[in-house]
Amino acid sequence: MTQQQPQQQLLPCPFCGTVPRMTGPWEIGTSDTYEAVVECPGCEAQISRQAASRNTVQKAVEEIWNVRSQAPEKALQRQMDDMALLMRRLVQSLNKAAPGHERAKAALDYLKRHGLQGNPLRTTTQEQST
């Protein structure tokens, strides 16, 4: 595990996985405003930001791109949590209807093996709108 990361790296494209590239920052007109763009050469997804300095705009566009890149993983995690919860409820119901059923045991085993047997601190996720 290396902790040194002098520059923030751009994460792969959330849509196709291609390594993106940044263009800019360049000054817009004479307004002391700079713009930078992160663009995916694979599917042409892109995101741009404007800010009052070169450094700020570069960091801003990197950050916003990386947040977006992580979104699918978070969505997948939420789906997993929901399915695990549903499975635990099904196991409870099955245990009531048919105590000691093999499928219920197998399902519980599976949940335990994958660390999904219960999530007391179910975190609330804040939606970020773009």
- Of 23, 26, 28, 43, the one binding Zn ion (CB under 5 A) is 43
Strands 46-51 and 21-28: unpaired
Q: Considering beta carbons, is residue 23 or 53 the nearer one to Zn ion?
A: 23
12 is a contact residue toward Zn ion (CB under 5 A) = no
How many whole angstroms separate alpha carbon 34 and alpha carbon 49? 8
* 75 Cβ contact partners less than 8 Å away, ≥ 6 residues apart: none
110 is a contact residue toward Zn ion (CB under 5 A) = no
At 41, phi and psi to the nearest 5? -70, -15
Q: Considering beta carbons, is residue 62 or 104 the nearer one to Zn ion?
A: 62
Q: Considering beta carbons, is residue 22 or 42 the nearer one to Zn ion?
A: 42
Residues that bind Zn ion (CB under 5 A): 13, 15-16, 18, 40, 42-43, 45
